[in-house]
Amino acid sequence: MKFLRMRPGHGEVLLTEGDPEVREDEERLIEEFRRQLDEGMWAAVPTHAPGSGRRQAVMIHDYDEIPSDADRVIFFPRASGG
Protein backbone atom coordinates (compact mmCIF):
# COMPACT_ATOMS: atom_id res chain seq x y z
CA MET A 1 0.00 0.00 0.00
CA LYS A 2 1.22 3.47 -0.88
CA PHE A 3 0.63 6.72 0.93
CA LEU A 4 0.57 9.67 -1.48
CA ARG A 5 0.26 13.33 -0.63
CA MET A 6 -0.72 16.23 -2.87
CA ARG A 7 1.86 19.00 -2.69
CA PRO A 8 1.31 22.56 -3.89
CA GLY A 9 3.49 23.32 -6.88
CA HIS A 10 4.67 19.74 -7.08
CA GLY A 11 1.91 17.20 -7.65
CA GLU A 12 1.75 14.09 -5.52
CA VAL A 13 4.69 12.71 -3.58
CA LEU A 14 5.14 9.24 -2.17
CA LEU A 15 5.24 9.47 1.63
CA THR A 16 5.79 5.82 2.38
CA GLU A 17 4.75 2.39 1.23
CA GLY A 18 4.57 -1.01 2.80
CA ASP A 19 2.68 -4.22 3.28
CA PRO A 20 0.09 -3.82 6.07
CA GLU A 21 0.42 -7.55 6.73
CA VAL A 22 4.03 -7.07 7.81
CA ARG A 23 4.16 -5.74 11.33
CA GLU A 24 7.06 -3.32 10.87
CA ASP A 25 5.50 -1.90 7.72
CA GLU A 26 2.14 -1.53 9.42
CA GLU A 27 3.65 0.39 12.32
CA ARG A 28 5.33 2.75 9.88
CA LEU A 29 2.10 3.20 7.94
CA ILE A 30 0.10 3.91 11.10
CA GLU A 31 2.67 6.44 12.26
CA GLU A 32 2.66 8.22 8.90
CA PHE A 33 -1.14 8.17 8.75
CA ARG A 34 -1.37 9.87 12.14
CA ARG A 35 1.30 12.40 11.24
CA GLN A 36 -0.58 13.43 8.09
CA LEU A 37 -3.87 13.85 9.94
CA ASP A 38 -2.07 15.85 12.63
CA GLU A 39 -0.74 18.12 9.90
CA GLY A 40 -4.32 18.85 8.89
CA MET A 41 -4.62 16.53 5.91
CA TRP A 42 -7.70 14.67 4.82
CA ALA A 43 -7.26 11.09 3.67
CA ALA A 44 -9.21 9.31 0.94
CA VAL A 45 -9.15 6.03 -0.94
CA PRO A 46 -10.43 6.07 -4.53
CA THR A 47 -12.66 3.08 -5.12
CA HIS A 48 -15.48 1.65 -7.25
CA ALA A 49 -19.07 2.18 -6.15
CA PRO A 50 -20.50 -1.28 -5.54
CA GLY A 51 -22.67 -2.56 -8.38
CA SER A 52 -21.87 0.18 -10.90
CA GLY A 53 -19.07 1.48 -13.07
CA ARG A 54 -19.09 4.64 -11.02
CA ARG A 55 -15.99 5.62 -9.12
CA GLN A 56 -15.99 7.39 -5.84
CA ALA A 57 -13.76 8.13 -2.87
CA VAL A 58 -14.01 6.86 0.67
CA MET A 59 -12.89 9.36 3.26
CA ILE A 60 -10.69 7.75 5.91
CA HIS A 61 -10.65 9.12 9.44
CA ASP A 62 -8.78 6.32 11.13
CA TYR A 63 -6.12 3.89 9.95
CA ASP A 64 -8.45 0.95 10.68
CA GLU A 65 -10.97 2.31 8.17
CA ILE A 66 -8.63 1.78 5.21
CA PRO A 67 -10.23 -0.93 3.03
CA SER A 68 -8.15 -4.08 3.07
CA ASP A 69 -7.90 -4.13 -0.74
CA ALA A 70 -6.80 -0.48 -1.01
CA ASP A 71 -3.52 -0.06 -2.84
CA ARG A 72 -3.12 3.64 -2.00
CA VAL A 73 -4.31 6.35 0.32
CA ILE A 74 -4.26 9.93 -0.94
CA PHE A 75 -3.70 12.74 1.54
CA PHE A 76 -4.79 16.22 0.57
CA PRO A 77 -5.16 19.53 2.41
CA ARG A 78 -8.32 19.94 4.44
CA ALA A 79 -11.02 21.96 2.70
CA SER A 80 -11.85 25.45 3.87
CA GLY A 81 -14.36 28.03 2.73
CA GLY A 82 -12.88 30.06 -0.12
Partner 1 sequence: MLFTVLALTLVALALAMPTLWRELSAVRHRRAKSAKRRERRAIADPGRERRAEQRARELLRSCVNDEEWAMYRDLGFIRVRGSTPGYAYLVYPHKPVVAYMPESGRLLNEYCVEFPDMSGAIAGSRLPDSDDVLAKWMALTGDERRLIRTANMHLPGRQVDPGRVRRDLWRLAQWERQRSSARS
* Interface residue list for partner 1 (CB under 8 A): 4, 6-12, 39-40, 42, 44, 46, 53-59, 74, 76-82
Smallest separation, CB 24 to partner 1 (Å): 26
d(CA 58, CA 39): 20
User: In sequence order, what are the residues at sequence separation of 6 or more whose Cβ sits closer than 8 angstroms to the Cβ of residue 28?
Assistant: 16, 18
DSSP state, 78? P
Cβ distance to partner 1 smaller for residue 51 or 81: 81
Cβ distance to partner 1 smaller for residue 4 or 30: 4
